[in-house]
Amino acid sequence: MEQLKQAIMEKGVISGVDVLKVDSFLNHQIDPQLMNEIGLAFAERFADCGVTKVMTIETSGIAPAIFTGLHLGVPLLFAKKTKSITLDRRTYETKVLSFTKRKEYRIVVEQAYLTEADTVLLIDDFLAEGQALRGLIEIIEQAGATLCGAGIVIEKGFQHGGDRLREKGYRIESLAIIESMANHRIVFRD
């Protein structure tokens, strides 16, 4: 998606060797017009699989995911982050290891909002090692719901989480895949 790649080139800030900060349009300040275009792009790419629900994890996935839900005409369900085991039989939950924060957290979804009748499209802002996606897939499996695939705004291809999930047969579509950030220069995968 050209508009997104342009925003990354113009506004993205590389921190350390593998962190890309896009706080000016995606993770702190958010560009609503760009999110609308992103939602439309995901809705078009996944128009074929009968999505009944879009799912993401709070916080930064919500903006692209809500526009995807709008254009597909289905609700958005976001998994909530929590520190403790809820021990609530009415929730699905699993553990996720955060790449940027290097700590483990739990995600929780109320069972009332996800059933085996659902076909789910996952949306997230970043895909690095794929831990968050794996957590969401685990929740979908607990619910017995059908997974359509995952739409990712920015995939860090050099961390290979997306490639490993594709090898397992999951449909992962990323609007921008960064192949390399070596020497503070962003190179996209074709």
- Chain residues that interact with a copy of itself, rule: CB under 8 A: 23-25, 28-33, 35-36, 58-59, 62-63, 66-67, 69-70, 73-78, 80, 109-110, 112-113
Nearer CB in complex with a copy of itself: 17/112: 112
Question: Which three-class secondary structure state does DSSP give residue 170?
Answer: coil
| Residue 42 CB, nearest approach to a copy of itself (Å) | 12
Nearer CB in complex with a copy of itself: 78/126: 78
Instruction: Give the distance between the most distant pair of CA atoms in the chain.
Output: 49
163's enclosing H/E stretch is: helix 161-167
CB-neighbour burial class of residue 28 (10 A; exposed 0-12, middle 13-18, buried 19+) = exposed
| Residue 117 CB, nearest approach to a copy of itself (Å) | 14
User: Residue 122's beta-bridge partner residues?
Assistant: 55, 150
> In sequence order, which residues have a C-beta less than 8 Å from that of residue 33 and are 6 or more positions away?
none
> In sequence order, which residues have a C-beta less than 8 Å from that of residue 70 and are 6 or more positions away?
39
CA distance 54 to 29: 22
Nearer CB in complex with a copy of itself: 69/161: 69
Nearer CB in complex with a copy of itself: 41/165: 41
| Residue 129 CB, nearest approach to a copy of itself (Å) | 22
| Residue 131 CB, nearest approach to a copy of itself (Å) | 19
